[in-house]
Amino acid sequence: MNIVSRAIRDFRNTRELSRRRRAQIENVQSAHEEYKRQLFAISDEAMSFALSSGEATLNLPRPKFELTPYVPPIKNLVCPDEHVLAMDAAVGPLLAGHGRTGLMSFGGFPGFPYLTELTQITEYRDLYEKTADEMTRKWIEFRSEAGENRDDIIKQIKVRFTQLHVKEWFNWAAKTGRSMGRSQIFMDFEDDDEELGMPLLIQKEKIKKGSLKRLKGIEPITTYPGDYNADDPLAQDYYEPSTWWVYSKKVHTSRLLTFIPQPLPDLLKPVYNFSGISLSQLAQPYVDYWLSTRDSVGRLLKNFSTTVFKTDMSGILQGQNYEAFVKRIKFYTAMQNNQGVFMCDKATEEMSKETTSLAGLDKLQAQAQEHMASVAKTPLTILFGLSPVGLTATAETDITIYNNHVNTKQESDFRRPLEALTKIVMLDLFGEIYDDITFDFVTLVSETEKEKALMRKSDGDRDVALITAGVVTPEEVRAKVASDPDSGFNNLDVDKPEGKLLTPQPDEAKKGGKAGGNPDADFTAAQNSEDAMPSLLAVAADIMLRDAQRVAMDAGLWAGNQHTGKIGGDDEDPSVSAMKASAVAQKATNVAHKTGTRASHERAVNAHSRALQAHKDALAPANRANKVVHENYIDAHEAAIAHHKMESAPLPEEVEL
């Protein structure tokens, strides 16, 4: 019995011990799992912090725009309470219905305060400031369409425009109109409040001399429309306010130069406070996409490399040496650099770097920028200063298209306000309007010196051909050349007789012509002669020679006074010999113009003939750039030979004899 009792007792003790051990093991395992869960768990606070420092900060706060009917701030001053203001009360529900159908899914009018906030972001400012600056960079040029001389009047108008800072205010209006949807310039005549609400008639009875005091820009947030026609779509002023409230002052629309670069349909005008749509609002999805792409690429560049440390985690997960391990990792993270060293156990530990591929990120960013440029209709070269990429990419065509776009915007946005302001300035200065005075927007295209030289050469060829054919007279060509500021001969006196009348008469020809004159003596005497004047054909030929010389300078073939001395040495380059021959021919032409004798003209013919042959000989072995130079000189020398042959021909009196 005792043996059985002890056996039963031992069995029970063993079973109880086993149960306790199992319970202890389960408790340890449960504690270990809870420890691991707490160790690798991400708290709500940590998740909020990660979100606040990550994607959540990329997008700007975008308010929800509500479509509400237009209500004037001071209703009693606009219309009586018993009257209904047009039909604006029906616009809000109508537009709200369209919004539900997707017509206005983008959100509607954001409001002027929000658009003002966007002006603090450079991506928005660049979109409209670049084009506005281009629209006023070269500005306008006044001219008269009548035959009368209006130079003094035009000069006074230019001075008055400068005093009123017209260019600067129009630049401001272009920028504000694109960023806010509307801008206005107030013309101040120092009228009282009652007069401000009356129309400004552009007549001398209304606008007196010296009455225009200044111009002042008015932002759209300070204005709202007064009276406007909303019941007759056939009327010219349909949905066009006739008056504006500038805070508490009622101003007639004729006293404001209004700019709306991006107009809207009539249905949306009351919702947008009778403004156009802002370029910032149109570009907002593209700018947001660019900002998101830029920040994403920046974060990827910052975290594209991750350090992986492989070690035995069993002891750490059980809580053994946890603090020492964490301290070791923190120390490495704080001290890592290109000169740092990390030591690890060769048998149980390993360290490696995991990197993320950065291929294609530049293309993603470039596409995001191109999207913004497409909204502004501005080439990347102008908007961001970036050159186009690709084998066939060129900025020349893009800039040409952009210049045409700027010219179109100048005509559509500036033409009517400038015409009205010009008439007002005339009344302010002279008390009358000169209808023949108008203006042109100066082209933005700038020609290179080579292009100008080729154009002048072409004009010279045409003038020589027209004179030779008898279509025009030398006097007419002389007047045209003298009136061209870029001809180089704009200081010619068109009232003087042409040079051909100063050619030697028969008795003078006997002294220095074919009848025994001394060409060398003519050459020597010509060095001190300054009385003779070249003929019009000589002027045309000289223009061609000068243009050819400019092209040669661009190609590096012309070196000024270096082209002197003996021509045609054994080792001399054919192009150099040709340039020397042209220099000699030019001197012969100068002598012929100064002396006016037939012998000197014959000498010039020979010199130009030698130069012509020299350039023809140098044409074949020349490279592509130098071929253009020699071809220009060949045309110029042929024109000079024709001129000198005409001047050296016998006079009519001598032919009869």
User: What confidence score (pLDDT) does residue 421 get?
Assistant: 95
Q: How far is CA 472 from CA 126, 476, 485, 487, in A?
A: 52, 6, 21, 18
CA distance linking residue 215 with residue 186, whole number of Å: 6
CA distance linking residue 503 with residue 517, whole number of Å: 15
User: What confidence score (pLDDT) does residue 626 get?
Assistant: 75
Q: How far is CA 488 from CA 38, 500, 546, 643, in A?
A: 88, 21, 10, 20
User: What confidence score (pLDDT) does residue 176 get?
Assistant: 95
Residue 538 backbone dihedrals phi, psi, to 5 degrees: -65, -40
pLDDT higher than 70, residue 44: no
pLDDT higher than 70, residue 173: yes
User: What confidence score (pLDDT) does residue 290 get?
Assistant: 86
Angle at 196 between CA 192 and CA 201, to 5 degrees: 120
User: What confidence score (pLDDT) does residue 324 get?
Assistant: 76
Cross-strand partners of 196: none
pLDDT tens-digit map of 359-389: 777 777 777 878 888 888 888 788 877 766 5
pTM: 0.56
Q: How far is CA 610 from CA 43, 583, 606, in A?
A: 96, 11, 6
pLDDT tens-digit map of 271-295: 899 999 999 999 988 898 888 888 8
Q: For the chain, what is the largest distance between any 2 Cα atoms, rounded to a whole number of angstroms? A: 179
Strands lying side by side in the sheet with 223-225: 223-225, 243-246, 249-252
Residue 606: CB atoms within 10 A of its CB come to 14
pLDDT higher than 50, residue 142: yes
For residues 115 and 63, the answer to whether their CB atoms sit within 8 Å is: no
User: What confidence score (pLDDT) does residue 508 get?
Assistant: 40
* Domain spans of the chain, in order of start: 2-41, 111-304+366-446, 449-656
User: What confidence score (pLDDT) does residue 219 get?
Assistant: 94
The confidence band for 251, taking pLDDT boundaries of 50, 70 and 90, is very high
Residue 144 backbone dihedrals phi, psi, to 5 degrees: -110, 135
- 3-state DSSP call for residue 208? coil
User: What confidence score (pLDDT) does residue 58 get?
Assistant: 39
Name the residue among 474, 483, 476, 479 with its Cα closest to residue 494: 479
The confidence band for 572, taking pLDDT boundaries of 50, 70 and 90, is low
For residues 59 and 292, the answer to whether their CB atoms sit within 8 Å is: yes
Can you spell out the DSSP letters for 472-513?
Answer: S-HHHHHHHHHH-TTSS-TT--TTSPPGGGGSPPHHHHHHHS
User: What confidence score (pLDDT) does residue 365 get?
Assistant: 78
CA distance linking residue 181 with residue 291, whole number of Å: 23
The confidence band for 513, taking pLDDT boundaries of 50, 70 and 90, is very low
